[in-house]
Amino acid sequence: MGILIADGNPLVLRGLSAVLEEDGRFRPSAQAAAGQELLALFDRRPETIAISEWSMPDMTAEDILADLRRRGVKRRLIVYTDSKNSDLPRRVMAAGGFGFCAKTDPLDLLLNTVAAVAHGRIAFPYVDVKSLYADPLAQLTAREKELLSALAGGWTNQQIASRYGISPNTVKFHLKNLYEKLDVSNRASAVALYFENERPNG
């Protein structure tokens, strides 16, 4: 069975290809170094399963899944990541992913995850189903929530700095921390997460 592989690190791409080939059940059929490349592969190739890093250079796996869902494209994505964010399995499951493995897990676990997904099952570490409805924005400080709301309103860094009486560098510092907490790679992903989890009285 052909498997697509997506990771921004060429060494990981090479290593995953070797692991899949050695296993014998799967064939690494194409590689992508960015999220848009993976989406393009899904559009023009017959493979339905991909292994992807959570944080790609241009977008997260959450963004990839959202794009597939929006276009009604039926594909099975397994996230294989070195992120330390313990909330990621929940977010991958909630976004419509089929599997999750950490890069610190034994390779056998990754192969078993791929096999399970290939047979139509989902494969995740334990996820409290109630947590699927948890608000990922709850971990942000009050100032970070203010800045995220400003981003969602289309404000520039300079406008945010003027509004809150802080320097543009301080704005960048807060946004860097905000992106790390939410495990997103850019402003657009942070804003998308904001609108997905915005509360009427938030």
Q: What is the separation, in whole angstroms, between the first and last Cα of the chain?
A: 46
- Sign, CA torsion 128/102/190/117: negative
Locate the domains of the chain by residue range: 2-132, 136-197
Class of domain 2-132: alpha beta
Condensed to tens digits (0 to 9), the pLDDT of residues 25-50 reads: 999 999 999 999 999 999 999 999 99
- Helix (H/G/I), strand (E/B), else coil: 194: helix
pLDDT tops 50 at residue 201 = no
The answer to whether 31 touches 17, Cβ cutoff 8 Å, is yes
Condensed to tens digits (0 to 9), the pLDDT of residues 85-136 reads: 778 888 898 889 999 999 999 999 999 999 999 999 999 986 545 545 566 7
Q: Which fold has domain 136-197?
A: Arc Repressor Mutant, subunit A (1.10.10)
